[in-house]
């Protein structure tokens, strides 16, 4: 495998041609190419200069998914009293902080395949003054991005380096590239409970074995078995496009802004690009993970593409 580090951008590629690109800004995966194709969606008007979170790839949401300004707490239940995250920006600080590249390692991935793993770190001391004040807990994050021939894995290790417990949420806000959202179905959500953020955070049970996206969709599916793959498939030939398994993440958010919301997002472009993406986001967001002082937690996702 080869790895290059240039201007805060780390690129790794395998002899078989797959490649991944990660920006130190937010430790954001911005590109994953396999079978010669880009697998992740990136808005044409995304800010790649650190001026705002990157609209595409895999933004990392930590320590909270909620948006205190929109009083969205009712979606995930009221935070613990005077919760530290209530003055953070939407989706927390991880995706708009500059991480450090801890290094790379390659290993045998079995069947003669190799894997290349890129590690990124973020700690409390590295945060901006504003974020340090807003979230005063000593912590360490190690985010690992692992590329193999047929999968991309991202996993996050959270360590509480302080003297008190803290609560957190985590979400891997993955933008998957699709040719036409009208031809996309999401499988293995049937009979799962979800919170519908488009319908006033009401709770529903999924009735469809193959969910079609035909309007603005913003749903938090809860309590899923992480080992059961969420499959994004093509309706026309029922072929799987992506298969996502998780570890220790039991929620999955399905999001598509659709027409109006896409127009309303200044860094989502072109407007019609909602047709070329679907966010399937592995996370732990419907409750708060408590991490005791000195403890660590790890969770992640593995995405296979064009199986
Ligand atoms: O994960 C779904 C969601 O929270 C939506 O509610 C929408 O806000 C989307 O993420 C984009 O959020 P962002 O903060 O990246 O603009």
Q: What three-state secondary structure class fits 85?
A: helix
Which candidate in 18, 91, 137, 281 is catalytic?
A: 281
Cα dihedral across residues 277, 282, 286, 288: positive or negative: negative
Range of the domain at 237: 2-305
Distance in angstroms (rounded) separating the CA atoms of residues 231 and 243: 4
**Residue with CA at minimum distance from ligand 1 atom 4:** 65
DSSP one-letter code for 237? T
Q: What is the pLDDT, as a whole number, of residue 246?
A: 98
Q: Is 119 in the pocket of ligand 1 (CB under 6 A)?
A: no
Is pLDDT of 80 > 90? no
* ipTM of model: 0.98
Give pLDDT, residue 66: 66
* pLDDT given for residue 64 in this prediction: 86
Q: Are 177 and 40 in contact (CB under 8 A)?
A: yes
Residue 90 annotated in ligand binding:
yes
* CA 183 to the chain's CA centroid: 23
Question: Whose CA is closest to 280, among 241, 228, 244?
Answer: 244
Beta strands in 257-295 (DSSP E): 277-291
- Mean pLDDT for the stretch of residues 149-164: 97
What is the per-residue pLDDT for 91? 85
Annotated catalytic, 215?
Answer: no
Query: Which residues are paired to 175 by β-bridges?
Result: 279
**C-alpha pair distances (Å), 52 with each of 41, 67, 106:** 17, 16, 32
pLDDT in tens, 84-119: 666 788 889 999 999 999 999 998 877 778 999 999
Which ligand 1 atom is the nearest neighbour of the CA of 59? 15
pLDDT of residue 72: 44
Q: How far is the CA of 261 from the centre of ligand 1 (A)?
A: 10
Tell me 259's DSSP state.
H
The CATH number that applies at residue 198 is 2.70.98.10
For 160-188, what is each residue's pLDDT tens digit? Answer: 999 999 999 999 999 999 999 999 999 99
Q: Give yes or no: 137 in active site.
A: no
Domain total for the chain?
A: 1
Q: Average pLDDT, whole number, for the chain?
A: 93
Write down the catalytic residue from 173, 206, 215, 292.
Answer: 173
Q: Is the pLDDT of residue 82 over 70?
A: no
């Amino acid at each position: 495998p080869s790895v290059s580090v240039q201007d805060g951008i780390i690129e790794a590629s395998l002899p078989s041609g797959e490649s991944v690109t990660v920006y130190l800004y937010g430790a954001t995966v911005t590109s994953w190419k396999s079978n010669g194709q880009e697998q992740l969606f990136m808005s044409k008007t995304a800010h790649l200069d650190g001026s705002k979170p990157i609209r595409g790839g895999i933004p990392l949401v930590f320590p909270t998914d909620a948006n205190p300004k929109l009083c969205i707490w009712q979606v995930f239940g009221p935070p613990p009293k005077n919760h530290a995250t209530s003055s953070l920006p939407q989706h927390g600080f991880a995706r708009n902080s500059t991480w450090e590249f801890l290094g790379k390692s390659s290993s045998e991935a079995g069947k003669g395949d190799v894997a290349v793993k890129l590690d990124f770190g973020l700690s409390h001391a590295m945060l901006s003054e504003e974020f340090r004040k807003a979230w005063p807990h000593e912590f360490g994050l190690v985010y690992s991005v692992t590329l193999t021939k047929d999968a991309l894995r991202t996993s996050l290790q959270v360590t509480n380096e302080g003297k008190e417990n803290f609560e957190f949420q985590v979400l891997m806000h993955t933008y998957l590239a699709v040719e036409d959202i009208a031809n996309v179905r999401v499988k293995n959500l049937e009979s799962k409970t979800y919170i519908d953020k488009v319908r006033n955070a009401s709770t529903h049970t999924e009735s469809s074995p193959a969910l079609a996206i035909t309007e603005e969709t913003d749903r938090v599916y809860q309590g899923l078995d992480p080992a059961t793959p969420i499959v994004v498939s093509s309706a026309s030939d029922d072929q799987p496009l992506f298969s996502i398994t998780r570890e220790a993440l039991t929620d999955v958010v399905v999001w598509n802004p659709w027409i109006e919301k896409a127009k309303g997002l200044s860094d989502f472009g072109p407007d019609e690009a909602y047709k070329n993406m679907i966010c399937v986001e592995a996370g732990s967001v419907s409750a708060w993970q408590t991490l005791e002082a000195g403890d660590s937690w790890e969770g992640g996702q593995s995405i296979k593409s064009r199986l």
